[in-house]
Amino acid sequence: RGTVGVLQHKALDNLKKSGLRCEKSDFRNDLSVFVCSAYSDKHAEEIHNFVAEGGGLLIGGHAWYWAQSHKGGNPLTEFAGNKILNKMGLSLLPETIGGGRFKAPVPSQTGKDSYHFCHLLQRFAAHVTEGEDLTKNEEQCLKKFGKDCASFLKMQAHDRCSYAQVLSTLTHVLKKSGMPQVCDTCPVKSPKDHLLLNMGSEVFKVCPNPDSLLPYLINENPLLPVVYNHRVTLNVNTADREEWVSTGLYLSQGMKTYMAMPGEIVNKGWMVQIGCQTDYLKAEELKRAPNVHEQFPIDSEMMQVWNLWGGLIYLVAPPKTQVGGVQVIVQVAVPAPYYKSGEDDVIADWAMLRTAPSPWAELEFENIILTVPSDTIRNLERPDLLAALWDSIMKGIADLAAKPHKFPRKERFVADVQISHGWMHAGYPVMMHKASAEALVNLEQAKTKGLWGPIHELGHNQQRDPWEFRPHTTECTCNIWSVYIHEEVGFSIQAHGDVASAKRKSRLEEFVKGGRQLSKWEVWVALETYLQLQERFGWDAFKKVFAAYHKISNYPKDNGGKMNLYAETFSKTVGMNLCGFFKAWSWPIEKATEEKLANLPTWVDHPMVQFG
């Protein structure tokens, strides 16, 4: 019945249609209802008092963008809207759901099989501590319950009775049951063990005495030799993406350390990261916990960091950052086998460095960093020779892409016991199974058996939208780099069995026999198109084409348009009209493209002519 104060114009326009007495207004105490967004906590305390005394609040917004742009932060406690809402028993989560209509449950109509957080908490506690059986529906709800537990614990409302009670119950459950000791030989499969595994790390982060809980979470945690007050010098000049800076140090499981930060990187978007395994796992069978790395925003000159799962220590530099000669001091940590090209004496330093006690090792070369289990490098005597191989590989990748040899950001590989998808997958870092780690660091094996898979993933990292025709070329054009590197760097075997002449011929004939359907033009079949171009025009033509694309900013977004642009670009690069060749591969070449290239000599004897 009073005045509705509305902070946003669009909301005001809509609310005026309701007939309510609305006006544009910042917060003031004489309002009946205050309408605002969740992106400012400017009047948080005043709003709390206002609502407690009977005022109305209509607030809207989402927390997912804040979470994405504040890595390592806690949206439930730090996001502006939650600073207002939390005291009212509400929180905006960073997760999203699909659009739709969602009916709120009616308490009087819910039975014992309906999901209810507090009810299921007590039932699960009784299941673990007293052996009571869960119903089938309760078991099916455990995955959701685990997510809700994690969200609830992130509130860190230690001064609230309900929070303390839930945390106490979960701590008791873990002390009674212990946490599953997950590994590749003891995978976690059951809903109960999934929940305990997820819960362990979340409770460890927020319980008042984590050290007392640690023995119930980690059964075997041997003491490793440490170094004290280790200095890490930062010389960083990042491009347009964040970059991990290796420290050569490791924290054991649950181990804590203080880090002294130079003022130049405090509150500048830098983070400390503990752990190299950043894949989040959603598999039904887990060989490690779903999330085993931690990030801490660098917001003070002295900070304490830890990770239940342990891990290598990194400093994460934000994009477009330049810092030189400043030092970070790590109070106590475990030394890791860490080799950096140009900074270590091969004979003297590495002989000792490779024996460092950390279970993870890193080899940092000119343009790539390999993170592998330490066991795989204990017998590596000449990292400089391995560096020479990888330097030549990365130089080749840059050459084909028509880019400077010095990468803006070094590529990274991390070998893990389990990854989020595939046998390997691209990204920063490139993730691979630890069974493949030996191939990265064994010089003789690399030269005699090749590195198709790793270079395939590095090829993925080179793919660019203007000349990518998804889904056709997603698993195709990355292989151009695999073929090139194996031919040009000097591996002593054929690049891959699937590029053998007999297989190429068989696939090509099958494609033609099947009606040359563009829907079938993918992976190896699609690669054949590029191989035919390479065999006629050479690798130099590809380099020139990629160079030409560096200057193209305005390009079609549909596959048809992009394929026509590629045909035009390649034709002009080699000085020959290739429209007939691409049409023979069922590319949708337009008349306009043919007209643009009409003055060039036609490629009349291309490999597809034989099929008519």
pLDDT digits (tens, 9 = 90+) for 131-163: 999 999 999 999 999 999 999 999 999 988 999
Q: Cα separation of 266 and 394, whole Å?
A: 34
Q: Cα separation of 23 and 556, whole Å?
A: 46
Residue type, 343: E
Q: What is the pLDDT of residue 492?
A: 63
Q: What is the pLDDT of residue 396?
A: 96
Burial class for 442, CB neighbours closer than 10 Å (0-12, 13-18, 19+): middle
Q: Please say if the pLDDT value at position 113 is more than 80.
A: no
Q: What is the pLDDT of residue 218?
A: 96
Query: pLDDT tens-digit profile of 42-72?
Result: 999 999 999 999 999 999 999 999 999 898 8
Cβ contact 456:447 at 8 Å: no
The whole model's pTM is what? 0.91
- Residue written as token pair 């190299």: 276
Q: What is the pLDDT of residue 536?
A: 96
Query: pLDDT tens-digit profile of 235-255?
Result: 999 999 999 999 999 999 999
Q: What is the pLDDT of residue 10?
A: 84
Query: pLDDT tens-digit profile of 485-498?
Result: 999 887 766 678 78
Q: What is the pLDDT of residue 94?
A: 94
Query: pLDDT tens-digit profile of 2-46?
Result: 999 999 888 898 888 888 899 999 999 999 999 999 999 999 999
Token pair of 328 as six digits: 């970070």
- Per-residue DSSP letter, 609: G
Q: Please say if the pLDDT value at position 589 is more than 70.
A: yes
Instruction: Please compute the mean of the pLDDT values over residues 506-515 and round it to a whole number.
Output: 94
Write the secondary structure of 498-528 as one string of H (helix), E (strand) and C (coil). Answer: HHCHHHHHHHHHHHHHCCCCHHHCCHHHHHH
Query: pLDDT tens-digit profile of 271-322?
Result: 999 999 999 999 999 999 999 999 999 999 999 999 999 999 999 999 999 9
Q: Cα separation of 305 and 302, whole Å?
A: 10
Burial class for 515, CB neighbours closer than 10 Å (0-12, 13-18, 19+): exposed
Q: What is the pLDDT of residue 344?
A: 65
Cβ contact 92:85 at 8 Å: yes
Q: Cα separation of 65 and 170, whole Å?
A: 30
Cβ contact 81:92 at 8 Å: yes
If pLDDT is split at 50, 70 and 90, which confidence band does 170 have? very high
The pLDDT > 70 percentage for the chain reads 98
169's enclosing H/E stretch is helix 161-177
Q: What is the pLDDT of residue 122?
A: 95
The pLDDT > 90 percentage for the chain reads 86
Cβ contact 67:75 at 8 Å: yes
Query: pLDDT tens-digit profile of 551-567?
Result: 999 999 999 999 999 99
Q: What is the pLDDT of residue 567?
A: 98
- Per-residue DSSP letter, 25: -
**349 or 348: which leads in pLDDT:** 349
Q: What is the pLDDT of residue 112?
A: 61
H-type alpha helices, 500-600: 501-513, 523-537, 539-550, 559-574, 579-584, 591-596
Q: Please say if the pLDDT value at position 111 is more than 70.
A: no
Helix (H, G, I), strand (E, B) or coil at 101: coil
Instruction: Please compute the mean of the pLDDT values over residues 346-356 and round it to a whole number.
Output: 87
Q: What is the pLDDT of residue 489?
A: 84
Domains of the chain (ranges; CATH) run 4-88 (no CATH), 131-217 (no CATH), 222-335 (2.60.120.1250), 463-611 (1.10.390.30)
Those residues with Cβ within 8 angstroms of residue 284's Cβ, 6 or more apart along the chain or in another chain: 189
Q: Cα separation of 198 and 154, whole Å?
A: 13
Phi-psi region of 158 (alpha: psi -120 to 50; beta: other; left: phi over 0): alpha
H-type alpha helices, 207-293: 210-217
Cβ contact 228:332 at 8 Å: yes
**493 or 117: which leads in pLDDT:** 117
Cβ contact 360:311 at 8 Å: yes
Rounded to the nearest 10 degrees, what angle do helices 478-485 and 452-460 cross at? 140
Strands in 360-364's sheet, in edge-to-edge order, are 338-340, 360-364, 368-373, 411-416, 430-433, 424-425
Q: Cα separation of 40 and 408, whole Å?
A: 36
Cβ contact 592:568 at 8 Å: no
Q: Please say if the pLDDT value at position 353 is more than 80.
A: yes
Write the secondary structure of 110-167 as one string of H (helix), E (strand) and C (coil). Answer: CCCCCCCHHHHHHHHHHHHHHCCCCCHHHHHCHHHHHHHHHHHHCCCCCCCHHHHHHH
Query: pLDDT tens-digit profile of 456-503?
Result: 999 999 999 999 999 999 999 999 999 999 998 877 666 787 888 899
Q: Cα separation of 597 and 589, whole Å?
A: 12
Side-chain-side CA neighbours of 521 within 13 Å: the count stands at 22
Query: pLDDT tens-digit profile of 417-430?
Result: 999 999 999 999 99
Q: Please say if the pLDDT value at position 373 is more than 90.
A: yes
Q: What is the mean pLDDT of the chain?
A: 94
214: closest CA among 129, 306, 303? Answer: 306
Helix (H, G, I), strand (E, B) or coil at 319: coil
Those residues with Cβ within 8 angstroms of residue 375's Cβ, 6 or more apart along the chain or in another chain: none
Token pair of 283 as six digits: 């598999």
DSSP per position, 400-435: HTT--SS-SS-EEEEEESS-SSSSEE-SSSEEEEGG
Q: Cα separation of 334 and 256, whole Å?
A: 11
CA gyration radius, the chain: 29
